[in-house]
Every structure is written in C-alpha cells, then in structure tokens.
Structure 1
C-alpha cells in the first residue's frame, strides 16, 4: 500500500494545490507537540488551543475556495438555464446536443470538486485520529462537538455539503428535462425512475454517496464483511479486472462461507440432547457449541497468515479438517464419548476459513466488483445461519447401517461431512490460484514503501505555496524516522502492533461488536435448554424458531440499508440499536412466574434484530475510524473484528456451561446478567466517543 501522504499528493488536482489542507505540516505539528509534552510538565491546554486554531485556518482556506468554486458552477448553470429556456421555446433540436454537452461539462467540473472535497475530508479525519493517538486524548470529540453544531461553523461545509447537493440537483434536473422533454413529463420529481440516467449523473451520485455516507442495500450489506475500501477517491470509474480474479474461485469462497455457517448452527437445536445421551449435563451444550469458537480464535490467525502465500492450500486443508471434525462428531454417539464430541467440534473450529474467504475478496476481486462480492459474503453467512437450524429440524429419524447410528443427534455431523467431501472435489477441480507475483502482498508493500519514502523526503505530502512563514518551515522539513513509523501505511506484522493502532473510537466499536456477538450467542446457544425447560419445546420447535430468527437477517438489512441509514446518521442508528438490545435483554429476564412463551419470543426477536442492525452500522463505522494500516496484510481489521466476535462467543458459551452449576432454573438470569452489564458499558462508551464517529 502506498503511504497515505504520497497517494494523497498523486491524486490531488495540481492547479488547486494551494487550497488543500496541509496534512504534512499538521502532522509535524502533532509530533512537535508530543515532544513538547514529553520535555515539560505542560498540561496541554495551550497545545489544544494552538492546534484548534491551525485546524480552523486550514478548514477556512479549503471552505472559502469550495464556496468560490460552487459560485462559479452556479453562475454557469444560471447562464445555461437561460439558453435552455430559449431552446424549449424555439424547439431547435440542433442545439440539443450542444446544450447537453454543456451541462455534462459542468458535471465533470463538479466531479473534480467532489474529489477535492473528499480528499480534504479524509485528510482532516486522519489528522484528528493521529492527534488522538499520539496524546491519548479525545481531541476529535472536543473539536467536532464545538465546531459542527455552531451556527457559523465552516466544518459543517465539510460534513454536510449542502451547496454541493444543490448544484447536483440542478444538473440532474436539467439533463433529465432536456433528454425527456418530448415526453408528457419533464421533472425528475414526478417520475424519477422512468427517464434514462445520464452517465455523468451516475458518477456524480456515486461521489456524493461516498461524501455523505449515503448508501443502498448492496453497499450497506457489503460493509458487514469489513473489507475496507480504498481510502482515497479515484477520478476514474474504469477499474481493470486483472488476472487475479476468477469467478469460480470467488464462488467457491462464498460456498465455503455458507457451508461453515451451516456447520456452526446445525448442531444448536440438538446439542443439549446429544450431551445428555452421552451422560453429560444439558448445559455442556455450551462447551460443545463453544469449542468450535475456541479453535477458531487460533485458526483465524494462521489461516490469515497462510493466505499471504496461497489460497487453495489452506482451503484444502480447512476442508479436510472440517470433514474429519464432523465425522468425529457423528461417531461420538456410537462410541459413547463426550470427549470425542468436543474434539470433533474443535476440529470444525480449526477448519474455519472465513479469514481466507474475506482475504480473497479483499486482495483478488477488483474494486468494481468488491462491494458486490462483500455483500455476497455477508448474504452467504446469513443464509447459512438460517439453513443450519432449518436442516436440523428435518432430521427426525433413527436407523442404523453397519452398526452406525443415524438420528437427529448424529445426522448433522454426517450430512456436513458429506457436504465438505463434495466441496473438496469441487474445490480441487475448479479453484484457480492467483498469480504469485501479484498475490505476495507483503513483499510488494515493502518495495512500494521504500520507494514512497524516498519520494516523500523531497517535498510535503500536500504542498501549499502560500502559507505563513511559520508553517512553511514545518511543511518543508523531512523527518525520515517519523515518516517511516507513524506516517507509514505498511501493514502491521503482529497483534501487538495492531493493538497500538487502536484509537479510543476503534476500541469502543470493537467492544460493541464483542457485546452484540456475546448477546446473540447467549440467546442462540441456550435456546434449546431454556425452551425445553420452560415451554417443553421439542428439538424441531427449537430448530424452526432459530431458522425464523436467521431469516430476519436479510430483510432487516434491506430495510436499514435502503431506508434507515439514509434517514439517520450511522452513529444515531448505532446508539439507538444499543439501547434496543439493552431493552431486549432486560425484557428477557425471568422475574415473574410463569415465564411466558410470548415474553421469550418477543424479547428474543427484539434482541436479535437490534443486534443485527447494530452489527451493520458498527462494522461500517469501524471501517471508517480504523487505521488504513489495518486494511491489508495478516493482522487486518477483519481479523481483529473476527477475533473480537469469536472471543465473545467463547466466553458466552463458557458462561452457559458454568451457569449450569446453579441449576437450569437459574440459567436464564445468570447468563443474561453479564450481557446486560456489557451492553450498558458499551452504551456509556459510545456516548463518550459519539462526536468522533463521523
């Protein structure tokens, strides 16, 4: 990955250089302030005041130029409006082509302005994150809170883009009017989906959506995969599909994702009965279900590292391990061994290839198709989550072949073993390994970084020809050590290095992810025990209930991605979802006898659906506040979120098993109490970092 400052400089518009936020000068200021605090006992108040003043000056320079450019575009559109009126009166169709091209020219200039705004917004976000990281102080929270809500704030132009939206609306309306004026309607507001959309409008809309974090269902769903997008905008939408991409290989990765999620949840409805049949307590089902997550904590790391060198080899290894694990799980019944049952699930966890599936999409799918592939990854996971329990409810049989038992307890293992065997043959025949010279990301990154470092030492990251004398000295210095360490975008090489890059905002988002996975795992893993104890549900009833919960995933995401996320800010949806999860947990407690079926179903539905909404906005915000150094490599943001979620599942399943010592009658309240505490803590932490989530 090219170092941020160099990449930013390469994509800037040369004639507008002087109006960009001077990222390098501010970066050096941050380092100088940090050194100043180390050498003195200063409390830092003067530093906060000085840096706020510098940021205000940089934003003012950028915003005034932005307003000037918007005014020029508005003047051109006003003149074109007069020409359009004359054209409509005379109906001289010879002028139509020239008029359309004139509007498209304004649209292309608007696109340049949008790229300019987006790069400055990214630079502003990065310098605020850098300040927070170096000082351990939530300066972003203070700065955004005091500036964004002020009536005279220029920061609102960076965050809201009201003027730009008006220009976009004018261009879009007039192009549509001209292209469809011979029809019976002439307004985008009357029938906005009937007329063909001009390509320049499509490009502008995509750029505006990136700026305003507007989204649709596909993009919203894709964010769940936490496959972090390119940080800087590209002036071209033409992305070449290189030889790394192979459709069948992508399909095999998505099939792997689907089968693994089926494998995870297919045993949930019957795990307690299986444990009892082997002489263990019903609450041992927590250990049976959780043992898969325990192994996944380790498998995610080694598979992520292995995928630096190959994709097919770890996928083949993963499939064989899963084949063995499911076979051992099924054989545990006839061998009457609870230990074999646990070992089988451990093997299934060791075969978790989700890190490879996510990594393949990130590294080998072209940018043009990456969001669709990410959405496919999440959809495959959601479908597998619903299909697992649904399949389990079909296994209501009991027979033997060669003294091997096939019943509702063992069939999940046998069916998944057969599925992985078929998948193994499909993988071996159809998967194509990406070229090594392209796939060796770590080596390429090192080479790019060394070249980028030499270039960076000659001039500022974002040059400014007319700065004050004080800032000129800062902008032209070259600090090689600082550039190589704090300013480098090279992927991290260890979990410890990755942890050091986590700002308070990132840590809070990981806590929220941990919380929602913990709450969901408690709900799902103990469902068979709770429902059989209170409502005398059969395993078939439990399977249907869990399948119905799983089927809510995609409809909920369609609603949030297509409507809710465009109506409210993501941080607003985040906080509201956390509160709803908290209410769902509170409503789940058994405080009145008898504990009713409607109470359990309603509370479970509120908790599960709210957690699903929360997961989407949480991962979307996490991808934005997380360092770009965590977008690639072994220890990437996806791995960190996977580890946080897997650890939550491990602790949740362990809680269920330990709570069994207090008896089944107390299991529900004992397991819900930690969920409630963690949820309340996450809400408080969100409130403290709320203003940094933009």
Structure 2
C-alpha cells in the first residue's frame, strides 16, 4: 500500500496548506477530552462548548480563504469576458483560441478550489464521527442543527459551496459560446475540431453535483445500482474514455440482469392459479415467489466471491442453473408436484448473478462511461420487471406436446428456459473474459485518478494536511501513536466476513439499511399478493393482473426522470428521503380495507402511491448510503453492494413468508394482515430517519 505521506502529497495543494481543516489538531483535542473526562476533570457541557468553538474557528479559516479565491476567480472571468466582447467586434481566430484556453485555465483553477472544498467537507464529517465514536456524545446532531440552519451559517459554505455555482455557470457559458461559434470567425479549415463539450465542463459539473444535491436523470438512475465509487473532482483524463473494454461483454451482463428480473416477475400474475392447480392454497403463491429470494440470499455471497476471480464462469453457471430451474418449474404441473415447483424456483434464485453484473461494471468499465453503464443496469432491471408480467399476460395459450402441458401457468417456465438457453449460447460465443489483473488495474487506476478525501482522511490527517518538517520532528512520537491507532481502528483492508462488515456500520448506515429493507418489503407485499387480492376483490384475470404489474414496472424510468431532473435539484437528499417515507406511510394506510366496499380506484391509486414513493425512496436512500458508508465497504466480497442486496433480499423473503402465513387466517383478512407489518416498518423507519436526520448531512 502506498505510504500515507506520499498519497497525501499527491492529493493536496501544497500552497494552500494553512487553509485546510486542521484535522490533526482536532483529533488530538478529542483524545485529550477522552482522557480528561475519564479522569473526571471535564464535564459534558464544557466539552461540547469548547469543541464547537474550535470547529467554528477552523471552518471560518477555510470559508474566508474560499471567499477570497472565489473573488479572484470572478475578477479573472470578468476580464476575460471583456476580452471576448472585443473579439466579437473584431474576430481573430488565433486570439479566440487563446481566449478559450484562458477560460479553461480558470476552469482548472476553479476545479482545484472545489477539490479543496470537498476535502474539508469530508474532513468535517470525519472529525464529527470520530468525536461521537470516542466520547459517545451526540455531537453531530447538536452542531449541525445549531450551525447549518443559522442565517449566517459558514457550515453551509463548506457543504453547499454557496456562490460558487455562479462562477461554474459563467465558465461553462463562455466555453460553450466559444465552442458553438468556433466556425463563425474563420473558415472551419483553419481550426482544429472540438469535442461536443469541453472536458473541464464535465469535471466542473461532476464536482458541483457531488458538493450539492443537484443531479440529473442518469446520475439519479445510476444511484440505484449502488456501485460505490470514491471520487473527488479532478481533471478528467481524456485517455480514460479510450480505454479498451468489451462492449458486447457489458451488453451480456445487462441482458443477464434483464432476463433475471423478467424471470422473477413473470410468474406473479399466475402463481396463485398454479398453486391451486397443484392442490395448495392461493396464498402459497407467496412461498413460490419467495423461494427465489431465499436462494438469492446465499447465491449473492458466493457469486460476489466468485467474481473476484472470474466473470465468465459465474455467468455460465448462472445461465445453466436458471435454465434447469425454469424447466423444473414448467414440469411441476405434469408431475403434479408442489415440491418440484418450489425446487425449480430455488434453482432460479441460486442462479442470481446480479453481484457479478454489478462487479463487472465496477471493475471493467472505464470511469468515463461507468455512470451510463450503471444507469443501464438499473434500466435493464426496470424493463425486466415490466416485461416479465407483460409477457405473462400474452401467454394465454393452451396445448400439449407429447406429455407436456403448455398453458398460462407453465408457459412462463418454458419461455424463460428457452430465453436462458439462447443467452447461454450467446454467452459462450461472444463473452470475453477480462484478465483479473487488467480488470483490477482498471478499477484501481480509475479510482486513483480521483483519489478520495475519504482515503486520505481514514488514515489520519497531518496538520494542516501537510505538516512542516519541524512539526513532524517534534511530534514524531505522537504521530507514530496516531498511526498505530488509525491502523488498528480503520484498516484499509476490505472486510473479510459479514460480521466484520457489520461492525463497520454506523447508526446512520444501519438506519439506511433499515429503510432499504422497509421499501423492498412494502414493494414485495404489493407485487406478490396482487394476483390474490385482485382475484378476490375484483375478479381480475391473469391478463388484467399482468397489465397492472407491467404498468407499475414502466413507472420506474419516468419517476426517476422527474426526480433526477427536477426534484433533486430543489431539495436535499435527506428531505426527499423523509418525505418519501411519509408518502409510503400514507399509501399503505390508504390501502387498508376499512370501508365496506373496496374499489379498484382505491387499490390502484394506493398501489401507485406506494410504488412510486418507494421507487423515489430507493434512489435517495442508496445515494445517502454510499455517502455515509465506510470506504472499506467499497471493495472485496463483503462490500456495501452485497449488504444492501442481502437487506433487500431478506425483506422479500420475509414479505413472501408473511403472505403465506397470513393466508391461514383466511383470504378475506389477507390484505389488512399483510399491510400491518408494512405500516409498522414504514413508521419505524420514518422515526429512525428523524432521529439520525442531521447525521445525513
């Protein structure tokens, strides 16, 4: 591992040393507080007041420097704007090119300032967490609540970069105009061709998105993939876009994702009919649907481990197992065996290669297009979720070939078996296994280009980020102690077990995982019991249920489009999170059968309300989760993606088990009985969010 000092020198601006947050000094002060409290010298009130004053001073030092640099940049832009105005009156191509380069230089300097700002923002988050961990006080909630909401808040300057947006906009506007009008001043043969958009603008927009809650459709959609990336604003390496990767292999991973989601939901409209035809109760459909999720709990772990060594072999194994599972599912009718039906679904769950699909994007796709690939992963999942039920609605045939029955119950199994067989052949012919060393190097290099403040901070800062030689000599003994403490508490090694991964979870992360569990539970209850509920209350056919579920699935992309382009640009992630949880509660309450007549309008409107709010909740939940989760959980087998997948999968298992168990109380009570846990979970998660609200800053 690269030595801490070397990584730090590569990451920081040497000339701005004294303006960084003095992390080392604050860490020492926390250590002194702990010793003095243990000796009974200090009281809780004095510690809170003293450390708050210290933080105020450090933030003020950073903010005043930030404002000074911001003014210098604005002055330079104003001078360049006057220059541009003169060139518009008397065009001169050579001067236009020079002017454009000057704007790019200002953009690079602004990017450096944003980089400085983000390091300090992460430093503040880090020291607040260390204070709470060491002393056990709920300091973050107190400090953020009193400082962030004050009209003269300097904390907002650090976390929201108030005013810098105008500077970013001015640079982007001028570069865009100079590029758009490049051919109006001289012949196009006298100048080099330019890209559609300047790389500096890409970098600035990415930096602004990280420091604010503003985003866009692709960013918001990509968050659902929960491919954790640790990145700080840095000039985009244009060569990164040219890194060779295999497009067909990426496409095969996305097709695997699409087919798996279609496989999951294609049986939902007909699962109750299938269960009854084999002599079981309609509510056993919960067990049939949930069997796939049960197996996925285990398959997620071994596929995540397997992807450390290969991508091709796990995908081959996944395709074979899913082919066999669907054949067994289809044959269960002619064998008249509910056991074969359940085993077939278990096999389908054992073939869940979503961990491989996600890992392939993280390791093998260049950084420049990783966001688009992540959004493609989520889009493939959403389309699969919509196409599965829609396909089931079209399979309204009944015929026999030899002894095999083909009807609306068995055709989903036969169709998916055929799809997986075709996919397997395509995989064998077209997939290119990347070298593990190359894939790992691509991942390391892309993340190294954007070395993170989290990486720097979790090994301990040196005052002020880069200490002088004299200070280093004076504090050598204490620095060694700090390094050993950091090494013991925050090793850079990935978690090597679920237990060690769990120990890395802070209260904020646990609340985010609880929210993820809740939203997956609520959505699974809505989807899995839809065929039974609609059949009982409205006498819907399989086709009607399929249309309803397909419409829900198709809502995913439009909802993310609206949230990503508009809502998330107006409100903070934590505000959207809390509002979405409240709407989920309202939707669940509205779903209860309280009045004598339960109408289609009530069921559909409440279902849409729950599904849409849960979908919005998923995006912001995973965005916040990636922000508050330890960087150690961005690598290895037991990573953050696995933890979130396990939380969601267990939620689906519990939801499907709830439907099956509630069936013993009678179908007439099924709706209300299954909605009670959904309501309790949504209420509990809402209060948990309120409790940790200020730690989501």
Question: What TM-score do you get using the length of structure 2 for normalisation?
Answer: 0.90
Is 1:534 equivalent to 2:532 in the alignment?
Answer: no
Is 1:378 equivalent to 2:378 in the alignment?
Answer: yes
What is aligned with 1:505?
A: 508
- 2:628 aligned residue (618, 625, 648): 625
What is aligned with 1:647?
A: 650
1:11–1:234 contact (8 Å) kept in structure 2? no
Structure 1 residues 373 and 3, CA gap change in structure 2 (3 angstroms): farther
Q: What is the CA–CA distance in structure 1 between the aligned matches of 2:606 and 2:140, rounded to whole Å? A: 37
- 2:556 aligned residue (548, 553, 558): 553
1:132–1:503 contact (8 Å) kept in structure 2? no
Question: How far off is 1:403 after superposition?
Answer: 0.6
2:521–2:655 contact (8 Å) kept in structure 1? yes
- 1:669 aligned residue (672, 677, 694): 672
1:19–1:464 contact (8 Å) kept in structure 2? no
Structure 1 residues 50 and 245, CA gap change in structure 2 (3 angstroms): farther
Structure 1 residues 419 and 87, CA gap change in structure 2 (3 angstroms): closer
Question: How far off is 1:67 after superposition?
Answer: 1.4
What is aligned with 1:285?
A: 285
Q: What is the CA–CA distance in structure 2 between the aligned matches of 1:24 and 1:429, rounded to whole Å? A: 56
Q: Root-mean-square deviation (CA), in Å?
A: 3.2
Question: How far off is 1:544 after superposition?
Answer: 0.9
1:303–1:355 contact (8 Å) kept in structure 2? yes
1:588–1:603 contact (8 Å) kept in structure 2? yes
Is 1:516 equivalent to 2:544 in the alignment?
Answer: no
Superimposed CA distance per residue, residues 288-346 of structure 1 (whole angstroms, 9 cap, x where no aligned partner): 11111111111111111111111112221121111111111111111111111111111
Q: What is the CA–CA distance in structure 1 between the aligned matches of 2:650 and 2:384, rounded to whole Å? A: 21
Is 1:112 equivalent to 2:112 in the alignment?
Answer: yes
What is aligned with 1:190?
A: none
Q: What is the CA–CA distance in structure 1 between the aligned matches of 2:106 and 2:214, rounded to whole Å? A: 23
1:6–1:461 contact (8 Å) kept in structure 2? no
Q: What is the CA–CA distance in structure 2 between the aligned matches of 1:555 and 1:44, rounded to whole Å? A: 50
Superimposed CA distance per residue, residues 580-603 of structure 1 (whole angstroms, 9 cap, x where no aligned partner): 111110010000111111110111
1:207-606 correspondence to structure 2 within 5 Å: 207-238=207-238, 240=240, 245-439=245-439, 462-465=465-468, 476-606=479-609
Q: What is the CA–CA distance in structure 2 between the aligned matches of 1:59 and 1:300, rounded to whole Å? A: 43
2:268 aligned counterpart, secondary structure: coil
Q: What is the CA–CA distance in structure 2 between the aligned matches of 1:85 and 1:253, rounded to whole Å? A: 51
Deviates more, 1:571-580 or 1:377-386: 571-580
Superimposed CA distance per residue, residues 72-109 of structure 1 (whole angstroms, 9 cap, x where no aligned partner): 22333344445455555666777544444433332222
Deviates more, 1:359-368 or 1:220-229: 359-368
Superimposed CA distance per residue, residues 328-372 of structure 1 (whole angstroms, 9 cap, x where no aligned partner): 111111111111111111111111111111111111112111111
1:593 aligned counterpart, secondary structure: coil
Is 1:660 equivalent to 2:663 in the alignment?
Answer: yes
Is 1:129 equivalent to 2:129 in the alignment?
Answer: yes
Structure 1 residues 182 and 331, CA gap change in structure 2 (3 angstroms): closer
1:20-59 correspondence to structure 2 within 5 Å: 20-30=20-30, 33-34=33-34, 44-59=44-59
Q: What is the CA–CA distance in structure 2 between the aligned matches of 1:531 and 1:64, rounded to whole Å? A: 62
1:309–1:440 contact (8 Å) kept in structure 2? no
1:91-110 correspondence to structure 2 within 5 Å: 95-110=95-110
1:488 aligned counterpart, secondary structure: coil
Q: What is the CA–CA distance in structure 2 between the aligned matches of 1:175 and 1:482, rounded to whole Å? A: 48
Q: What is the CA–CA distance in structure 1 between the aligned matches of 2:89 and 2:530, rounded to whole Å? A: 71
2:331–2:410 contact (8 Å) kept in structure 1? yes
Q: What is the CA–CA distance in structure 2 between the aligned matches of 1:507 and 1:635, rounded to whole Å? A: 16
Question: How far off is 1:425 after superposition?
Answer: 1.4
Superimposed CA distance per residue, residues 467-487 of structure 1 (whole angstroms, 9 cap, x where no aligned partner): 999x97898454343232323
Q: What is the CA–CA distance in structure 2 between the aligned matches of 1:318 and 1:3, rounded to whole Å? A: 41
Structure 1 residues 459 and 553, CA gap change in structure 2 (3 angstroms): closer
What is aligned with 2:188?
A: none
Question: How far off is 1:432 after superposition?
Answer: 1.7
1:20–1:462 contact (8 Å) kept in structure 2? yes
Structure 1 residues 429 and 89, CA gap change in structure 2 (3 angstroms): closer
Number of paired residues?
Answer: 676
Superimposed CA distance per residue, residues 378-402 of structure 1 (whole angstroms, 9 cap, x where no aligned partner): 0000000000000101111111112
Q: What is the CA–CA distance in structure 1 between the aligned matches of 2:632 and 2:302, rounded to whole Å? A: 19
What is aligned with 1:187?
A: none
Is 1:684 equivalent to 2:687 in the alignment?
Answer: yes
What is aligned with 1:163?
A: 163
Superimposed CA distance per residue, residues 22-74 of structure 1 (whole angstroms, 9 cap, x where no aligned partner): 33444454455556656669764444334333322322221121112112223
What is aligned with 1:188?
A: none
Q: What is the CA–CA distance in structure 1 between the aligned matches of 2:97 and 2:361, rounded to whole Å? A: 42
Deviates more, 1:390-399 or 1:36-45: 36-45
Structure 1 gaps, min length 5 = 185-194
Structure 1 residues 575 and 348, CA gap change in structure 2 (3 angstroms): same
Q: What is the CA–CA distance in structure 2 between the aligned matches of 1:612 and 1:588, rounded to whole Å? A: 17
Structure 2 gaps, min length 5 = 185-194, 449-454
Question: How far off is 1:152 after superposition?
Answer: 2.5
Question: What TM-score do you get using the length of structure 1 for normalisation?
Answer: 0.90
Question: How far off is 1:437 after superposition?
Answer: 2.8
1:217–1:562 contact (8 Å) kept in structure 2? yes
Superimposed CA distance per residue, residues 499-538 of structure 1 (whole angstroms, 9 cap, x where no aligned partner): 1111111111111111110100000000000000001111
Q: What is the CA–CA distance in structure 1 between the aligned matches of 2:2 and 2:264, rounded to whole Å? A: 38
2:206–2:233 contact (8 Å) kept in structure 1? no
1:434 aligned counterpart, secondary structure: coil
Superimposed CA distance per residue, residues 152-177 of structure 1 (whole angstroms, 9 cap, x where no aligned partner): 22111112222312222333444556
1:5–1:462 contact (8 Å) kept in structure 2? no
1:506–1:626 contact (8 Å) kept in structure 2? yes
Structure 1 residues 258 and 30, CA gap change in structure 2 (3 angstroms): farther
Is 1:64 equivalent to 2:64 in the alignment?
Answer: yes
2:267–2:412 contact (8 Å) kept in structure 1? yes
Q: What is the CA–CA distance in structure 2 between the aligned matches of 1:365 and 1:606, rounded to whole Å? A: 36
Structure 1 residues 323 and 99, CA gap change in structure 2 (3 angstroms): closer
Question: How far off is 1:203 after superposition?
Answer: 3.2
2:203–2:235 contact (8 Å) kept in structure 1? no
Q: What is the CA–CA distance in structure 2 between the aligned matches of 1:219 and 1:676, rounded to whole Å? A: 30
Q: What is the CA–CA distance in structure 1 between the aligned matches of 2:461 and 2:653, rounded to whole Å? A: 51
Structure 1 residues 362 and 314, CA gap change in structure 2 (3 angstroms): same
Superimposed CA distance per residue, residues 435-454 of structure 1 (whole angstroms, 9 cap, x where no aligned partner): 1334569x999xx9xxx99x
Structure 1 residues 131 and 5, CA gap change in structure 2 (3 angstroms): farther
2:222–2:371 contact (8 Å) kept in structure 1? yes
2:627 aligned counterpart, secondary structure: helix
Structure 1 residues 457 and 292, CA gap change in structure 2 (3 angstroms): closer
Structure 1 residues 88 and 238, CA gap change in structure 2 (3 angstroms): closer
Q: What is the CA–CA distance in structure 1 between the aligned matches of 2:333 and 2:61, rounded to whole Å? A: 73
